[in-house]
C-alpha cells in the first residue's frame, strides 16, 4: 500500500487550518490581482491624459508658429519696402499696400508699424495717415538700437498705446540704412486675446487650464481665466515648477501647484526658435475622477466578495470541525467498550501490534497483563446480569485509575477478562503495577452486602522471553491460569 504524503496527513489532521489558509491565500490573490488591474487602469488614464495634452500643446505650438511666420513675413516685407529709393514717389494708397501686405496683416490679430530712428510712427497698417506715437523709450526699441544682430525679437507683454489692442506681444526687426546704421524698426503687435479665443475653444475641464509664458517667466495668456487667477504679466521665474519646465524644454510631470497646492499634471513644450512656452495643466482630480469612481466600485465589490469568501470559509470550517468531532466521536465509540468505557478488543489488537513493532524496533521491553475477575459466574448468578455489569464497570474503573502513563492501555478482552498493555516496562515494573491493580480491586466495597468481595487474578507476559506477540499473549494467559490454580487473587509472572 502506497504511504500517504505528509501534505495529505496534514490535511487529514488539520482540515480547518488548511481551509482557512487556502481562503486567505485566495483573498490575497484576488486583492493583488484587482490592485494590479486598478493600477494598470490608472496608468492608462494618466497616459491618455498626457497624450491628449501633448496634442493640445502641438496644436497651439503650430498655430503660434504660423502666426509668427505671418508677422515675420510682413516685417521682412516692410523692411524691404522701406529700403526702396522710389518709395517716396509712389502714390499714398499704393505705397500703403506695398508697405503692409494685407495677405500677411490681419487687423483682428493686431497691427504693424514702421518706426523711424527716433521711434516715431511713420507707417501704420491701420491707416494711410500714421497715428501719432513715439516708442523710442521702449525696451524693444533700445535693444535693436544697441544690437544690430537681434533678428526677429519677441517682446514682453505690454498694454498697447494705440487703438484698443489691449494686452499684446510685439515682434520686431531692425531697419538698417545704406551703411548699416540704425534707421528704425518694423514692429508688429499681436493681441493676446487671439490666443485666449483659441484656448477657449479647447475643452480641457473646469479645474484645468492652458497657459502661454515667455522664457522670462511672464504669464501671457491663461484660459479659462478666473478673477482669482494671476494677472497677465505675473512673473513665475522663481517658482520650482517653472524652473523645471525651463530646464526640461518639453515633457510631462505631476506636481503640486505653487499657487493652489493642488496636484496637477503639467504637459509643456517650448515653441521652436521662439522664447515662448505652451503649458497645459490638468487637475489630477479631474483626470482620475472617472477612474476613482471605478476603483471605489471595484474595491467595494472586491471587498464584499472577499468578506463573502471568508464568511463561507468560516461556515465551512465550522461544518468541517463538527464533522471531525463527529468522526472522532464515532472513532472513539468504535474503539470503546460500551459497558466498561475501556478500549475494546479491536482497539486492543491495533495497540498490541503497534507496541510490539515499536518494542522490536527500539529493543525495549513490552509487558502485557491478563486480568480476570475471580468467581465471576458465581457472582453473576448471585446478583444477576445487572450486578455483574456493575462489578465489571467498577473493576474497569479501578484498573484505569491505576494506570498513570499516557502510553499504557487498559482494554476489555472479553467477558470478565481485561488486558493491560505496558510499553517499555520490565518485569519488575509490570509486577508492581499488577499488584497495585489486584490490591485496589480487593479494596473495593462489597456489592449489596455480599460476603465475598470482588478479586482478580493477574498473569504477566513479557516480550523479552518470547519471539512473537502471540507468544507474549500466550505467556500472560499461562501465568493467569497459574494464578487461578494457586488460589486466585494473586499475580503470577512468566514461567522461568
- Residue ranges in 115-270 assigned as alpha helix (H): 139-146, 192-200, 240-248
Helical (H) or strand (E) element with 347: helix 345-362
> Which of 61, 355, 400, 416 is labelled catalytic?
416
Q: How many CB atoms lie within 10 A of CB 412?
A: 26
Q: Give residue 496's pLDDT.
A: 64
Q: Which of 13-17, 109-113, 181-185, 418-422 has the lowest mean pLDDT?
A: 13-17
From-to residues of CATH 3.30.450.20 in the chain: 195-287
List, for residues 329-377, the tens digit of each pLDDT value.
777 777 788 888 898 988 899 999 999 999 999 889 999 999 999 988 8
pLDDT confidence band for 224 (50 / 70 / 90): confident
Q: Give residue 293's pLDDT.
A: 93
List, for residues 272-328, the tens digit of each pLDDT value.
888 899 999 988 888 888 999 999 999 999 999 999 999 998 888 888 888 878 877
Q: How many CB atoms lie within 10 A of CB 479?
A: 25
Q: How many CB atoms lie within 10 A of CB 205?
A: 14
The Cα 183–Cα 467 span in angstroms is 132
List, for residues 188-206, the tens digit of each pLDDT value.
888 888 888 888 888 777 7
Whether domain 195-287 has CATH 1.10.3470.10: the reply is no
From-to residues of CATH 3.30.70.270 in the chain: 335-492
Which burial class, exposed, middle or buried, applies to 278 when counting CB atoms under 10 A from its CB (0-12, 13-18, 19+)?
Answer: buried
Q: Which of 48-52, 278-282, 329-333, 419-423 has the lowest mean pLDDT?
A: 329-333
Within 13 Å, how many C-alpha atoms sit on residue 39's CB side?
A: 6
Q: Give residue 106's pLDDT.
A: 61
Angle between helices 92-99 and 15-82 (to 10 degrees): 150
Per the omega criterion (within 30 degrees of 0), is the bond before 224 cis?
A: yes
What's the whole-model pTM score? 0.60
Number of H helices, E strands in the chain: 12, 16
Cα distances (Å, whole numbers) of residue 198 to 113, 190, 222, 270, 332: 25, 13, 11, 18, 88
Q: Give residue 205's pLDDT.
A: 76
pLDDT confidence band for 165 (50 / 70 / 90): low
41 in active site:
no
Which burial class, exposed, middle or buried, applies to 362 when counting CB atoms under 10 A from its CB (0-12, 13-18, 19+)?
Answer: exposed
> β-pairing, 456-462 with 491-492?
parallel
**For residue 208, pLDDT beyond 80:** yes
Fold exhibited by the domain 335-492: Alpha-Beta Plaits (3.30.70)
In 104-249, which ranges are E strands?
Answer: 112-115, 121-124, 153-154, 158-159, 167-176, 182-191, 209-214, 219-223
* DSSP output for 301-322: HHHHHHHHHHHHHHHHHHHHHH
Helical (H) or strand (E) element with 327: helix 289-334
- Identify which has the larger pLDDT, 479 or 17: 479
Q: What is the DSSP-derived secondary structure letter of residue 444?
A: S
Residues 218-231 as b or e (16 or more Cβ within 10 Å = b) = bbbbbbbbeeebee
**For residue 477, pLDDT beyond 50:** yes
Q: How many CB atoms lie within 10 A of CB 47?
A: 11
Picking from 194, 242, 191, 187, the residue whose alpha carbon sits closest to that of residue 215 is 242
The Cα 329–Cα 322 span in angstroms is 10
Q: How many CB atoms lie within 10 A of CB 381?
A: 11
User: Which cell numbers hold the place of 87?
Assistant: 518709395
- Identify which has the larger pLDDT, 383 or 410: 410
Q: Give residue 27's pLDDT.
A: 93
Q: Give residue 14's pLDDT.
A: 67
Amino acid at each position: 500500500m502506497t504511504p500517504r504524503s505528509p501534505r495529505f496527513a496534514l490535511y487529514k489532521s488539520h482540515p480547518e487550518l488548511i481551509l482557512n489558509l487556502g481562503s486567505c491565500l485566495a483573498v490575497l490573490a484576488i486583492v493583488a490581482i484587482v490592485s494590479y488591474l486598478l493600477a494598470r487602469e490608472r496608468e492608462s488614464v494618466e497616459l491618455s491624459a498626457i497624450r491628449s495634452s501633448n496634442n493640445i500643446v502641438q496644436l497651439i505650438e503650430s498655430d503660434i508658429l504660423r502666426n509668427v511666420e505671418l508677422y515675420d513675413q510682413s516685417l521682412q516685407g516692410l523692411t524691404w519696402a522701406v529700403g526702396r529709393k522710389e518709395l517716396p514717389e509712389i502714390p499714398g494708397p499704393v505705397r500703403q499696400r506695398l508697405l503692409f501686405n494685407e495677405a500677411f496683416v490681419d487687423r483682428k490679430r493686431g497691427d504693424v508699424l514702421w518706426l523711424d530712428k527716433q521711434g516715431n510712427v511713420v507707417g501704420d497698417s491701420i491707416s494711410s495717415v500714421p497715428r501719432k506715437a513715439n516708442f523710442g523709450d521702449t525696451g524693444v526699441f533700445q535693444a535693436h538700437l544697441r544690437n544690430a544682430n537681434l533678428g526677429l525679437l519677441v517682446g514682453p507683454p505690454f498694454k498697447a498705446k494705440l487703438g484698443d489692442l489691449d494686452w499684446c506681444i510685439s515682434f520686431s526687426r531692425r531697419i538698417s540704412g545704406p551703411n548699416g546704421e540704425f534707421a528704425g524698426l518694423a514692429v508688429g503687435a499681436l493681441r493676446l486675446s487671439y490666443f485666449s479665443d483659441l484656448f477657449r475653444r479647447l475643452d480641457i475641464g473646469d479645474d484645468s487650464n492652458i497657459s502661454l509664458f515667455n522664457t522670462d517667466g511672464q504669464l501671457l495668456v491663461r484660459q479659462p481665466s478666473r478673477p482669482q487667477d494671476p494677472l497677465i504679466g505675473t512673473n513665475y521665474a522663481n517658482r520650482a515648477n517653472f524652473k523645471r519646465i525651463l530646464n526640461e524644454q518639453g515633457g510631462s510631470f505631476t506636481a503640486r501647484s505653487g499657487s493652489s497646492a493642488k496636484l496637477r499634471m503639467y504637459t509643456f513644450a517650448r515653441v521652436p526658435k521662439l522664447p515662448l512656452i505652451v503649458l497645459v495643466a490638468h487637475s489630477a482630480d479631474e483626470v482620475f475622477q472617472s477612474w476613482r469612481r471605478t476603483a471605489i466600485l471595484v474595491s467595494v465589490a472586491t471587498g464584499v466578495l472577499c468578506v463573502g469568501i471568508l464568511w463561507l470559509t468560516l461556515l465551512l470550517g465550522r461544518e468541517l470541525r463538527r464533522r471531525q468531532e463527529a468522526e472522532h466521536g464515532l472513532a472513539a465509540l468504535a474503539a470503546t467498550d460500551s459497558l466498561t468505557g475501556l478500549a475494546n478488543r479491536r482497539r486492543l489488537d491495533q495497540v498490541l501490534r503497534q507496541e510490539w513493532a515499536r518494542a522490536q524496533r527500539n529493543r525495549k521491553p513490552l509487558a502485557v497483563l491478563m486480568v480476570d475477575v475471580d468467581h465471576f459466574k458465581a457472582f453473576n448468578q448471585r446478583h444477576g446480569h445487572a450486578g455483574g455489569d456493575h462489578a465489571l464497570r467498577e473493576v474497569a474503573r479501578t484498573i484505569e485509575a491505576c494506570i498513570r502513563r499516557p502510553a499504557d492501555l487498559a482494554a476489555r478482552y472479553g467477558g470478565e477478562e481485561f488486558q493491560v498493555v505496558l510499553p517499555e516496562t520490565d518485569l519488575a515494573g509490570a509486577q508492581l503495577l499488577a499488584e497495585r491493580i489486584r490490591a485496589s480491586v480487593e479494596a473495593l466495597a462489597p456489592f449489596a452486602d455480599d460476603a465475598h468481595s470482588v478479586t482478580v487474578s493477574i498473569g504477566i507476559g513479557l516480550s523479552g522471553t518470547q519471539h512473537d506477540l502471540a507468544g507474549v499473549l500466550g505467556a500472560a494467559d499461562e501465568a493467569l491460569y497459574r494464578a487461578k490454580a494457586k488460589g486466585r487473587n494473586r499475580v503470577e509472572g512468566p514461567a522461568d
